[in-house]
Amino acid sequence: MNEKETKRISKFLSLLLRHQPDKIGLTLDKNGWAFVEELISKSKKSGTWFSMEDLEFVVKTNDKQRFAFNEDKTKIRANQGHSLKNVEVLTEIKEPPTFLYHGTVAKFISSIKEKGLQKMSRQHVHLSADKETAIKVASRRGKPIILTIRTGEMYREKHPFFQSENGVWLTDQVPTKYIEF
By three-state DSSP, how is residue 67 classified?
Answer: strand
Identify residues 140-179 at the interface with ligand HQG (CB under 6 A).
141, 168
DSSP run (H or E) holding 57: helix 52-61
Nearest approach in angstroms of CB 171 to ligand HQG is 11
Identify residues 8-47 at the interface with ligand HQG (CB under 6 A).
none
Q: Does residue 108 belong to the site contacting ligand HQG (CB under 6 A)?
A: yes
Q: Does residue 63 belong to the site contacting ligand HQG (CB under 6 A)?
A: no
Q: Does residue 66 belong to the site contacting ligand HQG (CB under 6 A)?
A: yes
**Using the rule CB under 6 A, which residue among 36, 112, 154, 170 binds ligand HQG?**
112
How far does CA 76 lie from the centroid of its chain?
A: 15
Q: Does residue 126 belong to the site contacting ligand HQG (CB under 6 A)?
A: yes
Nearest approach in angstroms of CB 65 to ligand HQG is 9
Cβ–Cβ under 8 Å, residues 118 and 125: yes
Phi, psi torsion values for 103, nearest 5 degrees: -100, 130
CA distance 99 to 88: 25
Cβ–Cβ under 8 Å, residues 20 and 34: no
Nearest approach in angstroms of CB 45 to ligand HQG is 26
**Using the rule CB under 6 A, which residue among 26, 117, 149, 170 binds ligand HQG?**
117
Q: Number of residues in contact with ligand HQG, rule: CB under 6 A? A: 17
Cβ–Cβ under 8 Å, residues 105 and 143: yes
CA distance 53 to 98: 41
Binding site for ligand HQG (CB under 6 A): 64, 66, 81, 104, 108, 111-112, 115, 117-118, 120-122, 126, 137, 141, 168
